[in-house]
Amino acid sequence: MRRSLILLAAVVATLVAAGPAAAFRLGGVPRPVADNPADHLVGFAPDPEVYDPATHCTRKPKPGMTAFVGWLQRHAGGVFWGTYRCERWGPHEASLHAEGRAVDWHLDVGNPADRHEARRLIELFLAPDRNGTPHALARRMGVEEIIWDCSYWGAGMEDFIAYRPCLNKHDEVRKHVNPTIAHRDHIHFGLSKAGAMRRTTFWEQG
């Protein structure tokens, strides 16, 4: 657990900035939501909050990612925009897309209905279950990161922080940012290795 959160901090440091305010914020401790699928799993020990960084490119489909996309298609508004892209930042550092552990889900921040749906999904993933377990559905599914509207959340974080690619050298949000880079035309969900392999309680016990 401690090692995973240390790795998370190292990876996030290259992507986010703690100082500037994020465009998207939860606005306080997430509240319970009605019909949370995580409530059906309270009899099982909570899945740990972990962040597994990606290190290489692999095209092999991940069963948990396939299941996660299917769940979104059944339970969320929006459109599937893909999972795998071989994005590498260094010899041993890559995007979660490179390992097939991330999905881009089309929702447009400029569309009020899409913006509302993105908030609904985020609040659902990060809400506590009826036992008070934080980020219950994210943990049960193995969701380890969410990027939306120049804002970033990673496993173990309390709220979203500013997404570094949106900022200029003064740590201010740039006036003109490519909407895809800014994640303003889609929401990004990244899965842990266990989630991507369908080895978390949501997939094993749900």
- Cβ–Cβ < 8 Å for 179, 185: yes
Instruction: Please name which of 83, 80, 81, 77 lies closest in space to residue 64, comparing C-alpha atoms.
Output: 83
Alpha helices in 14-150 (DSSP H): 63-75, 112-126, 136-141
Residue 206 pLDDT greater than 90, yes or no: no
Residue with tokens 């500013």: 162
Distances, alpha carbon 113 to alpha carbons 78, 90, 109, 185, in Å: 10, 38, 9, 13
Q: pLDDT for 135-164, tens place per residue?
A: 999 999 999 999 999 999 999 999 999 999
Q: pLDDT for 89-132, tens place per residue?
A: 888 899 999 999 999 999 999 999 999 999 999 999 999 999 99
Residue 191 CB contacts under 8 Å (≥ 6 apart), including other chains: 62, 64, 65, 68, 96, 101, 102, 141, 142, 143, 144
- Cβ–Cβ < 8 Å for 106, 185: yes
Q: pLDDT for 33-73, tens place per residue?
A: 999 999 999 999 999 999 999 999 999 999 999 999 999 99
Residue ranges per structural domain of the chain: 2-205
Instruction: Please name which of 74, 50, 26, 25 lies closest in space to residue 139, comparing C-alpha atoms.
Output: 50
